[in-house]
Structures are given as structure tokens and as C-alpha cells.
Amino acid sequence: MAKNQTRCSNRMAFTLLLLTGLIFLLSPQNLTNKFQLAFARIFRWPLSIGRNFSLAARTHQPANQMLKRSQMQYQNHIDNLQEQLRQERLKVQKLSGTRERLPLEGANLVVAAVSMAPEGMKKELIINRGSVDGLAVGQFVLGDNSIIAIVSDISSRTARVRLFTDPESKIAVTVGTSNIERIMQGNGDNSAVISMLKNRAKTGTAVFARKKPGFLDAPMIIGKVAQSERNKESPLLWDITIEPACDIEALNDVAVIVMNPDK
């Protein structure tokens, strides 16, 4: 009798828990994300300690790494300035006479600490700033002076940002000095791809995120060309692989570009 009851309660518990799992599976992601964002917010302190410890353990040559990172930051800054200068020259050439806004003029850079990088196939980060800090979905995220992600989900004090290397990420970009807009899609590893380009791009060429009204007023560097290979279906066209312009995994802090912040 007791054995039957145990078996029955086991079945009951299993069924109820499986149903709970199915509810989670079939619920909209914006609802279930709240659990993850709440976890990241509640345990941000131990998560950041663990993250710092892990990053410190991975860094074998601190001086060299720091130097390399500073060099990367300056290089990204130079690339951004060169692209802005090129854009300004184009504007002068057009002689439109209308007043154009300067890059990041009136924008607020909200610095946020990386709380957590969820495991799995997606390339995302959870940061410790949310809607109360002026963040909104669609805003661009900077790491070491380069665009690394876009805010994809938000709660009051935390936000989830989707890296441009995530397979769901699609960002309008330009390659080098070309003004033709292309769509760059994440690969799921530490790279993204631009398909069907007419011309081969040189390795190391800077790739810029296009300006987007309300979110980004000037093109900013997002990555660099890592390799070009012929498209398998159309061998006359090229697929180029883009790598981030900074070491995303080593970032402790990022900055979110909040255009036209509330004063």
C-alpha cells in the first residue's frame, strides 16, 4: 500500500514538474527572461567576483595584455575618427548647408559592469544597468571604443545585450571606405559574416556599424575583416568573416550609447 502511494506520488511529482518545464519552454521569452535577469541582479556581487577571478586566472602576461588592450582601444579610436573625418568630408563635398549633428553629440555613455555571460549557443551578456538608467532596447553597446552589441532585453536594473557575433544578430555595416550598406550576421562563435560581397576585402580592413537615427549618429567601428572566401553557391561573390575589434570576453565594463537622454 505504502509502496503504491510512493509510486503514485512520484508519478504525480514527475508530471507536475514536467508540466512546469513545458510551461517555461512554451512561454514567451520576454517573460522567462525576467527570471534570468532577476538572478543576475540578485547575485551580481558573487558573479562579478567569480568573473574577475576567472579573467585574472586566464591572463598569463598582465603587462603585455594591458598594453595590447590599450593599443586596441587607441586603434579603434583612430579608426572611428578616420571614418568620422571621411563622413565629414563627404558632407562638406555635398555642401548641403544644413546643420549636421556631431558624432555622439548630446549622447550619454552609460557605463555598465558585465554581470554574467549566459552559457549556451547564444552570444549575450547581462549588464547591471536597466531602464532606470535610461537604457532601451535597440541601443548600441561599446567595448574598448568599438561597437560590440545591441541591447536586446531590459528590466529596471539589468539588461541583456546581444553581441554582434550572436546568430540572431543582424547589423547594417559598411566595409572599409565603401558606402554600400551590407548586413552582417553573427556566426555563433567569436565572429560574424557578410555574405555576397562583389569585391574581396583585405584582411584587417575596418568594418563600421552604420548610423541609425535615434541610436547612433555616426558610423563606429564594429570589427575587422579576418578572412575572405568565395561564396559556395556563387563563386563570383565573396563571403567575408569579421572578428570583433576588441577582446569581448576580457571586458569587465561596457558603455551603452543613450542618444537624446532625458534631462
Partner 1 sequence: MRWFRFVALILVATLLQASLLAYWNIKPDLLLILLVFFAVYCNSSEAIISSFTIGFAADIISPAMGPQIISFGLLGTALVYLHRVIAIKKMPYQAIAIFITGILIGILTHWLTLLRAEPAAKNIFFILLWTSLYSALVGPFLFLPAAWWMRIKTKRF
List interacting residues with partner 1 (CB under 8 A): 6, 9-10, 13-14, 17-18, 20-22, 24-27, 29, 32-33, 35-36, 39, 43, 46-51, 53-55, 58, 116-122, 124, 166-168, 187-189, 249
Query: What is the three-class DSSP state of 6?
Result: helix
Q: Kindly state the smallest distance separating residue 204's Cβ from partner 1, in Å.
A: 24
What is the grid cell recorded at 221?
567601428
Of 217 and 243, nearer to partner 1 (C-beta) is: 243
Alpha carbons 30 and 46: distance in angstroms, whole number: 25
Q: Kindly state the smallest distance separating residue 84's Cβ from partner 1, in Å.
A: 33
Q: Kindly state the smallest distance separating residue 134's Cβ from partner 1, in Å.
A: 25
Alpha carbons 263 and 74: distance in angstroms, whole number: 31
Given a contact cutoff of 8 angstroms between Cβ atoms, the answer to whether 231 and 126 are in contact is no
Of 41 and 103, nearer to partner 1 (C-beta) is: 41
Of 161 and 218, nearer to partner 1 (C-beta) is: 161
Chain centre distance of CA 138: 11
Residues 6+ apart with CB under 8 A from 100: 91
Of 97 and 120, nearer to partner 1 (C-beta) is: 120
What is the grid cell recorded at 49?
567576483
Of 103 and 130, nearer to partner 1 (C-beta) is: 130
Instruction: Provide φ and ψ at 182, rounded to 5°.
Output: -130, 160
Q: Kindly state the smallest distance separating residue 211's Cβ from partner 1, in Å.
A: 27
Alpha carbons 79 and 245: distance in angstroms, whole number: 10
**Exposure string over 91-119, b if 16+ CB within 10 A, otherwise e:** eeeeeeeeeeeebbeebbebebbbbbbee
Of 79 and 166, nearer to partner 1 (C-beta) is: 166
Of 119 and 233, nearer to partner 1 (C-beta) is: 119
Chain centre distance of CA 199: 27
Q: Kindly state the smallest distance separating residue 41's Cβ from partner 1, in Å.
A: 12
Chain centre distance of CA 93: 34
Q: Kindly state the smallest distance separating residue 188's Cβ from partner 1, in Å.
A: 4
Chain centre distance of CA 263: 27
Of 32 and 71, nearer to partner 1 (C-beta) is: 32
Residues 6+ apart with CB under 8 A from 20: none
Q: Kindly state the smallest distance separating residue 73's Cβ from partner 1, in Å.
A: 20
Q: Kindly state the smallest distance separating residue 59's Cβ from partner 1, in Å.
A: 11
